[in-house]
Every structure is written in C-alpha cells, then in structure tokens.
Amino acid sequence: MEHDFHLRIFFFFKTFSYFACLIFSMQKIIKASVLVIGINDFFTT
C-alpha cells in the first residue's frame, strides 16, 4: 500500500515534469515562429 502510494507520486511528478518541459518548448517554438513571421512581415512590407 505504502509502496504503491510512493510509486504513484513518482509517476505523477514524472508526468508533470514531462508536460512542463513540453509546454516550455512549445512556448519557445511559438515565440520563434512569431519572431520569424514578424521578420518576414518586416522585409516584405
């Protein structure tokens, strides 16, 4: 019972950190895309 509880917490934290990394990299990708689109707009106008 106790072991299962610890395992669950460990799994939860692993999943949480994975999603946090995913969201963080997505934000970076979105920021980069916005920057590229902005630069393209700047050069085309």
Count: domains in the chain = 1
Spell out the residues 6+ positions from residue 42 whose beta carbon is closer than 8 angstroms to its own.
none
pLDDT at 18 over 80: yes
How far is it, in rounded angstroms, from Cα 19 to Cα 38? 28
Task: Convert 5-38 to b/e letters by CB count within 10 Å (16 or more is b).
Answer: eeeeeeeeeeeeeeeeeeeeeeeeeeeeeeeeee
**0.85 surpassed by pTM:** no
For 21-41, how does the pLDDT look when each residue is reduced to its tens digit (9 = 90+)?
999 999 999 999 999 998 888
Instruction: Print the domain residue range for 40.
Output: 1-44
